[in-house]
Amino acid sequence: MKYKLIAVDIDDTLLNRKKEITPLTKAALLTAQENGVRLAVASGRLPYGVRPYAEALDIFSHGGWYMGFNGGAVMNCRDELIGKTYLDPKYIRPVYAILSTANVTTMVHKGATIFADNKVNRYTHIESEVIGLPLNVVDDLPSFIDWDIHKFLIAGEPDELKALEKRLIAALGDEVDIYLSAPWFLEVMPKGTDKGTGLQMICDDAGIDISEAIAFGDSYNDIFMLKAAGLGVAMGNAEEAVKEAADMVTADCDEDGIAVALKKLGII
């Protein structure tokens, strides 16, 4: 199979645990693009937090894409929005009614700002610190939201989130998508919105079949993308469920797993 597109998750996939793109991984992805394979950077982060990595990998001169909100916003190399989804406002209060009974923080994004309810915990600031955006705490989050939101981002202890995930799925799983993006992050998304559907949008825009795409990831929200792609590659540091869903497991993100896989596959 001649692969024509590579899609990479950011945290603990493209980035190592120091939140860096290593020189070898960067060189591998630049070489792949020079060899004619196009690149997409995919994340649960808002597009503002994804774009710097797309820029660092030079996708704008190689005709690539970047994806935010787990496929809720897909951008091309001209910074044009080619796909978007929003959470129907009718779900804001029903979802929050369930969240409000749990010991978790609920967050939403607007522009380049994150808003959270007042149940701040030790995981609340991770999103803000990682992408370098301000976090503002508000007392009545459902009443405060007066714009279209792409998702709810919920932060808390892993065991609490697993229990909360089951409750949300039981109550609203037929109407919205609920999944973990990290052990301490749970996401509530519009139905049918995930990195797999985002990758399909990108492949449609590129005029290629999704079977000609390779996807790299490490966490639960990457499973959709790994299963949708022609070849799904889990990082060596990936969650076990991600490894089980993948076609191939590569080296750890601290050991240039992307570069190792691309070399093994003959792309570089």
C-alpha 104/C-alpha 176 separation (Å) is: 19
Measured in degrees and rounded to the nearest 5, phi and psi for residue 26 equal -60, -45
pLDDT computed for residue 130 by the predictor: 85
Owner of token pair 């997409």? 40
Q: Is the pLDDT of residue 116 over 80?
A: yes
Backbone dihedral region of 123: left (phi > 0), alpha (psi from -120 to 50 degrees) or beta?
alpha
pLDDT computed for residue 92 by the predictor: 96
Backbone dihedral region of 14: left (phi > 0), alpha (psi from -120 to 50 degrees) or beta?
alpha
What percent of the chain stands above pLDDT 90?
A: 93
User: Is the sign of the CA dihedral 200, 180, 7, 48 positive or negative?
Assistant: positive
If you average pLDDT over residues 136-149, what whole number do you get? 96
Residue-range domain boundaries for the chain: 5-84+193-264, 89-190
Q: At what angle do helices 23-34 and 257-264 cross, to 10 degrees?
A: 40
Looking at the structure, give the CATH architecture of the domain made up of residues 89-190: 2-Layer Sandwich (3.30)
Q: Which CATH superfamily is domain 5-84+193-264 in?
A: HAD superfamily/HAD-like (3.40.50.1000)
Q: List pLDDT tens digits, range 6-21.
A: 999 999 999 999 999 9
